[in-house]
């Protein structure tokens, strides 16, 4: 599953992913996450997290 926002605010990104992982009680793991800064691209910031369901 991918969670993505057009924000670089931790409260909208990493903190939301952490909350989700806590609420799902170990049914998902965080595989990868990346924040893209407006300074890197000249465009809006962006965040993405790839989560994997544990079977």
State the pTM of this model. Answer: 0.89
CA separation (Å) from 7 to 13, 32, 36, 46?
8, 17, 9, 5
Determine the pLDDT at residue 21. Answer: 98
For residue 45 the two structure tokens come to: 């910031």
pLDDT tens column, 6-20: 999 999 999 999 999
Cβ atoms of 51 and 19 closer than 8 Å: no
Q: What is the number of domains present in the chain?
A: 1
Query: Residue 55: which pLDDT band, with cuts at 50, 70 and 90?
Result: confident
Domain that holds residue 39: 2-53
């Amino acid at each position: 599953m991918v969670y993505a926002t057009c924000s670089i605010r931790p409260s909208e990104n990493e903190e939301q992913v952490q909350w989700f992982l806590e609420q799902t009680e170990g049914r998902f793991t965080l595989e990868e996450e990346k924040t893209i800064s407006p300074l890197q691209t000249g465009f809006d910031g962006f965040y993405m997290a790839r989560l994997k369901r544990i079977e």
